[in-house]
Chains A and B, each alone.
Chain A
Amino acid sequence: MPSWPKETKYITHPTTRVDGPAKVTGNARYSSDIQADGWLYGMILRSKWPAATITAINLAPALKVPGIKAAVLAPALENNSDNFIVRFYGQELAAVCGTTKDACLDALRAIEVTAQPKEAFVVNENEAMKDGAPEVWAGQSNVSPGRPREQGNVDQAFGECAAVIEGFYSTPVQIHNPMETHGNTISWTDDGVTAWASTQGIGGVRNSLAGALRLDHSKVRVITDYMGGGFGAKFNAGVEGVLAAKLSQAAKAPVRLMLTRFDQALAVGNRPSSFQTIKMGALADGTLHAFEGENYGTAGVGASADAGGGGGGADIPMPYLYKVANSRVTQSAVMLNAGASRAFRAPSHPPASFGMECAMDDLAVKLGMDPLEFRLKNDPNEVRQREYKIGAEKFGWKEKYQKPGSSPGVVKTGVGCAGAAWGAGGPSKNTHGEAQINPDGSVEIRMGVQDLGTGTRTVIAVVAAEMLGLKPEQITVKIGDTNYPPGPGSGGSTTCASISPTVYDICTKALQQLQTQTGVADASGDNWFAACKKLGVTPLVAHGDWIDGLSTKPAYGVQFAEVDVDTETGLVTVKRVVAVHDCGLMIDTLTLESQINGGIIMGMGYALYEERVMDDLSGVVLNPNFETYKMPGIVDVPEIEVVLLNMPERGVIGIGEPATVPTAGAIANAVANAIGARVGSLPITPAKILAALGKVPPVEKT
């Protein structure tokens, strides 16, 4: 059985990003920076109707705009442009490419679209569920039938409880908003297609492009040197990728088609909403005994084919982390005339955590128990039990926790906590790579994975340096190209656990081959250059694969939050977050800390600011840009203290998703603890705080 070295020089230490200098100097070329020879801009024409039948599209006027080189129909309309049904505002209709951005804008305006708009459409979950609601898919109910799952005897169990709460907890549709929008630069020549894609899965883009363009996989090459974030929304080529390829074919030139921020909000994914009705009861000793949960949410027109392995649906795990002997759970999904969901960082977990952790606190209050004690009583997981104890100590829970609403003054302080699990990830066995060891001692590791900002390059360099006895900066890491040995898409916190054992295997084999070829018994470290020199003129290439025993899943975590709530303005300030996460064997503690910070800050946005707002009258996303879709800014960011549980014997674990799961629940509980009233609806805006305090009427969502 392979095992990681016990004494390490780089693993479990902080290492600065190997591509940091490229990123801070502007040398890193992102997909949107690619300037292929003779490149053209591409832009997409989208439906401005949420529901309509397109009866004709005339692209000819666009071609007359100076500078325009090609115009094509969206794939779904190619044989169908006289009878195409639009189901959401923003659905792709056509695309143009030209020599300037402004020419493309002019051309989009010139395209003539004839349509029969439908007056009836629906963009609101509660409206969509009503009898007689406009059907998103004709002849089909907007609501999937609920699937009750029951264990034990729920109805009887509630009668046995000492305390029962009933609560309603809801979460909005959240938009991924990576800083670089979706898109590609694509060149289609006689030799095939080259796509510089902003993606978290070069293999997925290659396969989906090849499928859509009816090309052999071997005729499509995908390159992603640098990409500006994905968070689950960028696995496959998408309509925008296929359109860029078709434009390139038609114009006989490379086309850069990056979505606008508006496009991004309309059509390329989001986190489904949730509306959770929870009834939960506990016995007098605080043991959870009965649970009944009903949830519905929307994935828009349906979970998208571009979701990248699913995870974009509206189901959430209930009762999440806790074992309840008697439980009944019913889930249903609601269709809307709105863009489809896609996987979004820890799909379905943040809403599940929020609902259940709020219910936990509400029931603890009713029982007269400390919410932390209540969790320790009912959380079956040993790792989280330890994490709660460590976190409580560091946070000062005992000193800080007061009865809800007992904080004096206008600005009230409150504390809350919540837990997370992420078990869906785990390593991908389909990870391969190779090392080229050159006679001058330089090392190149080549793997068909990509770095979506988590530090993939750096992890590869650190592991290789450790195994070969070199420094990380001596390792040249080549990734983000389908010409390299294949690896998995970066999603589900799987990348680190997939690549680390693979690099281990590559390096072990490289050392073995080096020994065979040169006779040097241990070529690592001090002997490295002398051994490599003995290779003569031919570099050595060693292949490696993912191997078992060096990585694992799942990951657990808990977070504690302290907030100030101004009871006159309703403003919430998150002062401090203590996050305790188990990370197995930590490869790079510096980038790991960044991942956890990032998860918390994104979770904070979910808790307090973020919500896609749809317009009932036009069906458009009303807040498609950052001045209206609010995300945490640097001023909002609290003091974050991260505690990393070092458990090297478990092997490597990914941390991207668990870090964002419990934040919203912890903040929501801290707010409830501060003001003595529950705001059960995210985002927790000042208006909702003031309504919960009875100072303003509640905001009615129609």
Chain B
Amino acid sequence: MKKPEPEKFGAHSRRTFLKSLGTVAATAATAQVQSVAAELEQANAEKVIGPGAVPVTLNVNGQTLKFMLEPRVTLLDALRNYHDLTGPKEGCDRASCGACTVLMDGLPIYSCQKLAIEAQGHKITTVEGLVQGGKMSNVQQAFVERDALMCGYCTPGFVMSVTALLNFNPHPTADEVKHACSGNICRCGTQPHIIQAALQVAGVKVENKTEVINA
């Protein structure tokens, strides 16, 4: 059996599928349905990979990582469990908490909702990749200074969402920070400090409203 080319497979497969759909739409006459189905089946048969492991190559934090993965393995699973990048966390495994947020070509995505084979050919950045030359990024630094973390489990996700926002919009308002982080959940209640940290990186003077009264 010919081995698929992992780098190209994801995109190629989708295009082929969409093309087939186009054919269906254009020639949806009842008489032709069967032959179209047969055609689809044949097209799919040629492109099927898995269910066994296939080679997968990912570009993560500037490094090329090679894996053997079943096609159903998510990007999050690949990073955390087939490699040792455990910065992205699993909180829900269904796109409702954001702890697994990574950047794909600079945009924040839920890595639990992206198959590893689909992430091929894209630049993936995890929270570990924000550290340059042993130095934390401005966002990471601000999270520490503002205590924008407690248990810290959701923190990598928030750091990635804020990083992506500031890359595209270096001077966001508090509302824009909230919007950018609205796909991330924190149970400890660090949200007020996360807003402060993001605004601090944006150069906004953030006043702390906490008051100490000597009794």
Contact = CB atoms under 8 A, between A and B. Distances in A.
A100 B187 CA distance: 29
Interface string B143-178: 111010111111110010000000000000000011
A575 interface: no
Contacts of A646: 212-215
A699 interface: no
Interface stretch (A78-86, A314-322, A355-363, A591-599): A591-599
A644 B89 contact: no
Given A228-B151, A625-B94, A627-B95, 7 more contacts: A25-B140, A32-B90, A179-B154, A394-B211, A586-B212, A601-B189, A641-B211
B151 A35 contact: no
B96 A26 contact: no
Interface size for chain B: under 10, 10 to 19, 20 to 34, or 35 or more residues?
Answer: 35 or more
B136 interface: yes
A6 B193 CA distance: 30
B103 to A, nearest CB: 13
Contacts of A17: 144, 147, 149
Contacts of B177: 634
Interface string A595-615: 101111110000000000000
B193 A26 contact: no
B212 A644 contact: yes
Chain A CB within 10 Å, residue with most, of B130, B140, B152: B152
Nearest to A103: B70
A644 B210 contact: yes
A24 B97 contact: no
A295 interface: no
Contact of B191 (A634, A642, A645): A634
Nearest to B84: A35
Contacts of A586: 212
6 contacts: A24-B140, A24-B143, A25-B127, A32-B86, A179-B153, A179-B154
A323 interface: no
A466 interface: no
B188 A644 contact: no
Nearest to B130: A25
Contact of A26 (B72, B81, B87, B92): B87
Interface string A14-36: 00110111111111111011010
A16 B148 CA distance: 10
Nearest to A453: B151
Chain A CB within 10 Å, residue with most, of B93, B97, B191: B191
Contacts of B208: 593
A639 B174 CA distance: 11
Contacts of B90: 32, 258
B155 A24 contact: yes
A23 B179 CA distance: 23
B70 A625 contact: no
A244 interface: no
B109 to A, nearest CB: 17
Nearest to A602: B189
